[in-house]
């Protein structure tokens, strides 16, 4: 029988009502057999995530301050979930152990991981599934990477023993035997490893939006969800700021060719977004998504005939290397070249670096332009469709916005434009409206 792995994010498990929705989703299909919960997240805007309460408890303990208050909030969150669900479950002994361990100097990773651990125990009781600790399944090497061999061996053993299980997200076991977490948002990674480990047919990632949206909902009002996106497109979009899924969550399932389905716990009938490997998959629009970020600068270099000069780029690059600065893009023409760099990475040295580059290549002119936003228009359909770039440029021009930079990736998967930061919002909206007019 095909089987599905489901990961539920913090907002999907923020209170008893959300736990009930999760249980209904799992029970709706017999294939939904391995479930990865996050720690309870925010119930409302100003609420605090259980994970943050645990970080706060640990920080207070390290300072030798009392952490009863923060820890009591953790206990209260879980106790009210258990009571509202009507479960005959008592976590007192677990709370005591965790409190004692934090008091006695347990690591910050241990403290932070307990949100997922407890959430897993509650969800396992609710579903009547076995609880299997992630520290007995996911192993890290000395260097902190996932130890694939040990990990997937453990999953092989797991599937022989349990045909269903709840496995807490966010953590595993370090080489020294202690608990180690992934970086924040890391339950997405656990879900991906579990999906690969049990050879799932699909990895369902349940969150609070009906899929990966075409663009950032904080910049464009009510953008529509993407129905299908490839792993490579997703990577381009995520790199430019579209974050729904932890970026390290893609690798394990991509290697095993398991699609990810982003779904909404609060709208379970919505098909959400399917993330797949196949770059040739049909797409209804030439554009899959639009993502963007503020905070970039360009070092713009002009020199007649630079394209004929052997070693020109290397000389310019060696200045960046000397200052330990990496660049994001390098659009170039016959007599011009521009290094696009994150303004933060210049650490206030932008003018100096520009001057040094000017000297190193004997430029006719060098200019530092800061206050730039980059917008990536991404789509696997772009290779075949003609005139996409023209549509982007004219949409932006119609909004009276000046394009400062254009770069088309060699993969023809994206076109990147640079605009002044104060034009960012309007440019994103103009591009969105061009390709996704209101029906």
Structure tokens at 76: 């209260």
Q: What's the closest the beta carbon of residue 213 comes to ligand ADP, in angstroms?
A: 3
Subset of residues 277 to 316 that bind Mg ion, contact rule: CB under 5 A: none
Per the document, the length of the chain is 439
Q: Which is nearer to ligand ADP, 9 or 120 (CB)?
A: 9
243 binds ligand ADP (CB under 6 A): yes
Q: What's the closest the beta carbon of residue 38 comes to Mg ion, in angstroms?
A: 7
191 binds ligand ASP (CB under 6 A): no
First to last CA, the chain: 40
Subset of residues 50 to 79 that bind ligand ASP, contact rule: CB under 6 A: 51
Q: Which is nearer to ligand ASP, 118 or 395 (CB)?
A: 118
**Rounded Cα gap, residues 377 and 220, in angstroms:** 14
Reported in sequence order, the residue ranges of 162-287 that DSSP labels E, i.e. its strands, are: 165-166, 171-173, 179-181, 202-207, 228-230, 260-264, 273-276
234 binds ligand ADP (CB under 6 A): no
Helices 424-435 and 388-398 pack at an angle, to 10 degrees, of 130
Nearest residue to ligand ASP on Cβ basis: 187
Q: Which residue has the tokens 């002044």?
A: 420
Q: Within the chain, what is the greatest distance between any pair of CA atoms?
A: 79
How remote is the C-alpha of 44 from its chain's centroid? Answer: 22
Size of the site for ligand ADP (CB under 6 A): 15
Size of the site for ligand ASP (CB under 6 A): 13
Neighbouring CB atoms inside 10 A of 102's CB total 22
Q: What's the closest the beta carbon of residue 7 comes to ligand ASP, in angstroms?
A: 8
Subset of residues 6 to 35 that bind Mg ion, contact rule: CB under 5 A: 9
50 binds ligand ADP (CB under 6 A): no
185 binds Mg ion (CB under 5 A): yes
Determine the 3-state secondary structure of 395 from DSSP: helix
**Rounded Cα gap, residues 69 and 91, in angstroms:** 18
Listed residue (318, 302, 319, 288) closest to 383, CA to CA: 288
Q: Which is nearer to ligand ASP, 115 or 252 (CB)?
A: 115
259 binds Mg ion (CB under 5 A): no
Subset of residues 177 to 196 that bind ligand ADP, contact rule: CB under 6 A: 185
Q: What's the closest the beta carbon of residue 178 comes to ligand ASP, in angstroms?
A: 18
Element of type H or E holding 294: strand 289-302
Listed residue (220, 216, 237) closest to 287, CA to CA: 237
How remote is the C-alpha of 210 from its chain's centroid? Answer: 16
Binding span for ligand ADP by CB under 6 A among 108-116, 147-155, 242-250, 400-408: 242-250
Among residues 120, 168, 185, 418, the one that binds ligand ASP under rule CB under 6 A: 185
3-state helix, strand, coil in the chain (%, to 5): 40, 20, 35
212 binds ligand ADP (CB under 6 A): yes
Binding span for Mg ion by CB under 5 A among 5-13, 70-78, 82-90, 107-115: 5-13
Listed residue (291, 44, 5) closest to 164, CA to CA: 5
242 binds, among ligand ADP, ligand ASP, Mg ion, none (CB under 5 to 8 A by kind): ligand ADP
Binding mask 139-178 for ligand ADP (x = CB under 6 A): ----------------------------------------
Subset of residues 1 to 20 that bind ligand ASP, contact rule: CB under 6 A: 10
Report yes or no: 122 and 89 within 8 Å, Cβ to Cβ: yes
The DSSP bridge partners found for residue 171 are 181
216 binds ligand ADP (CB under 6 A): yes
Neighbouring CB atoms inside 10 A of 334's CB total 10
Subset of residues 102 to 161 that bind ligand ASP, contact rule: CB under 6 A: 115
Among residues 169, 172, 197, 379, the one that binds ligand ASP under rule CB under 6 A: 169
Listed residue (28, 4, 8) closest to 207, CA to CA: 8
196 binds ligand ASP (CB under 6 A): no
Residues in contact with ligand ADP by CB under 6 A are 9-12, 41, 185, 207-209, 212-213, 216, 242-244
Residues in contact with ligand ASP by CB under 6 A are 10, 38-39, 49, 51, 115, 169-170, 184-188
Residues in contact with Mg ion by CB under 5 A are 9, 185
């Amino acid at each position: 029988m095909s089987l599905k792995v489901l990961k539920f994010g913090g907002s999907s498990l923020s209170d008893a009502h959300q736990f009930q929705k999760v249980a209904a989703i799992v029970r709706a299909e017999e294939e939904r057999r391995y479930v990865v919960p996050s720690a309870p997240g925010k119930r409302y805007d100003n609420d605090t995530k259980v994970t943050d309460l645990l970080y706060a408890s640990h920080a207070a303990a390290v300072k030798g301050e009392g952490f009863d208050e923060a820890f009591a909030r953790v206990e209260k969150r879980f106790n009210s979930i258990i009571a509202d669900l009507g479960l005959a479950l008592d976590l007192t002994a677990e709370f005591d152990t965790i409190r004692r361990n934090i008091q006695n100097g347990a690591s910050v990773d241990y403290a932070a991981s307990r949100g997922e651990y407890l959430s897993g125990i509650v969800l396992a009781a609710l579903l009547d599934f076995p609880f299997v600790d992630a520290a007995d399944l996911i192993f890290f090497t000395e260097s902190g990477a996932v130890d694939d061999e040990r990990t997937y061996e453990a999953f092989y053993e797991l599937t022989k023993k349990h045909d269903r299980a709840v496995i807490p997200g966010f953590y595993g076991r370090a080489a020294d035997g202690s608990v180690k977490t992934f970086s924040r948002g890391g339950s997405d990674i656990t879900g991906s490893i579990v999906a690969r480990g049990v050879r799932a047919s699909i990895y369902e990632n349940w969150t609070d939006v009906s899929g990966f949206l075409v663009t950032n909902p904080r910049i464009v009002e009510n953008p529509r969800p993407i129905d299908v996106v490839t792993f490579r497109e997703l990577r381009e979009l995520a790199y430019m700021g579209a974050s729904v899924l932890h970026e390290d969550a893609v690798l394990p399932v991509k290697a095993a060719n398991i699609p990810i389905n982003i779904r909404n716990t609060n709208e379970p009938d919505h098909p959400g977004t399917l993330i797949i490997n196949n770059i040739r998959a049909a797409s209804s629009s030439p554009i899959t998504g639009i993502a963007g970020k503020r905070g970039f600068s360009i070092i713009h270099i002009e020199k007649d005939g630079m394209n004929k000069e052997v070693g020109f780029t290397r000389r310019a690059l060696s200045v960046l290397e000397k200052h330990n600065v990496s660049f994001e893009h390098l659009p170039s023409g016959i007599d011009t070249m521009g290094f696009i760099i994150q303004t933060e990475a210049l650490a206030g040295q932008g003018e100096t670096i520009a001057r040094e580059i000017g000297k190193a290549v004997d430029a006719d002119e060098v200019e530092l332009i800061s206050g730039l936003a980059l917008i990536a228009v991404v789509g696997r359909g772009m290779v075949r469709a003609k005139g996409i770039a023209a549509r982007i440029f004219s949409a932006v021009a119609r909004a009276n916005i000046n394009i400062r930079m254009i770069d088309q990736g060699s993969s023809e998967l994206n076109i990147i434009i640079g605009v002044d930061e104060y034009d960012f919002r309007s440019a994103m909206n103009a591009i969105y409206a061009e390709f996704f007019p209101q029906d």
